[in-house]
Amino acid sequence: MSQEQVGIKAKNGLCQAWVFKPGGLGPWPSVIFYMDAFGIRPGMKQMAQHLADLGYVVLLPDLYYRHGAYGPLDPKEVLQGDFGAIVGPLMGGTDNHKAGEDTVAFLAYLESRQDVAGDKVGTVGFCMGGGMALTAAAFYPDRIAAAASFHGGNLATDLPDSPHLQVAKIKGEVYLAVADNDGSYPPEMAKLFDAAMDAAGVNYTSELYAGKAHGWMKPDMPVYDAEAAERGWAKLSELYARNLR
């Protein structure tokens, strides 16, 4: 795995981030990868490199930079313990709006790289990162041409940073990959979110991955499903090919 670690001056401090690239000569379109609640670890980096190998410069920022040092965490070990006690303090340092505000620094960084092609950027997020990827698309509609959420949770809540309250600003194409066994995104919430997208006229696709559980895309999760993950990567590749190439 080839990776480059960089420091990006974000709103509330220095954000460590990792850059992954395809082999060969660029430049390539770019993507911002929004991590899940377990933070930066080998599994996230593996996924970012997989995406890079599809032909993109991928920026994986550590959205827990406000908290300070941690981990790396092993999701399987964390899930056997007290998830809230371990991950809660980390999650308290970020949210959809903070990640959206941080994104201006990520976009500026990508724009500064000579191996990045064009000014249109994709976003993708997994679990916690799903709502962040969508929020970023709403905060920067003229830059984010495609956004994807894989088993994103809490996309339509009564909180002020709920992603469904921002979707009217989105101009890019959106792909939602939904698990049908996901307590963080039950069917009634999915209906609310889809209704908001429909009312806003967003170009989006929401697909249910039947029989899959929250987190199926991530290779270090106990619910990982390789076949469904390949389907997800193929859908993401198609989304970006339509909008970033």
pLDDT at 24: 87
pLDDT at 1: 54
Order of strands, sheet of 57-61, starting from the edge strand that comes earlier in the sequence: 4-10, 13-20, 57-61, 28-34, 116-126, 144-150, 173-181, 204-213
Nearest 10 degrees: Cα torsion 140, 144, 146, 148: -60
CATH code: domain of residue 162: 3.40.50.1820
Computed from CA positions of residues 8, 173, 117, 127, in that sequence, does the dihedral angle turn out positive or negative? Answer: positive
Helix (H) or strand (E) holding 82: none
pLDDT at 54: 96
Q: Are 139 and 32 in contact (CB under 8 A)?
A: no
Q: Is 134 helix (H, G, I), strand (E, B) or coil?
A: helix
pLDDT at 184: 96
Q: How many structural domains comprise the chain?
A: 1
pLDDT at 197: 98
pLDDT at 25: 86
| Residue 108: domain span | 4-243
Q: How many Cβ atoms sit within 10 Å of the Cβ of residue 51? A: 22
Residues ≥6 apart with Cβ < 8 Å to 86: 73, 78
DSSP assignment of 195-239 = HHHHHHT--EEEEEEEEEETTTT-TTSTT--HHHHHHHHHHHHHH
Question: Per-10-residue mean pLDDT for the chain, 245 residues long?
Answer: 89 96 93 98 97 97 96 95 94 96 98 96 98 98 98 96 97 97 95 98 98 97 97 98 94
pLDDT at 3: 86
Residues ≥6 apart with Cβ < 8 Å to 210: 180
For residue 36 the two structure tokens come to 């899940």
How far apart CA 118 and CA 107 sit, in angstroms, is 12
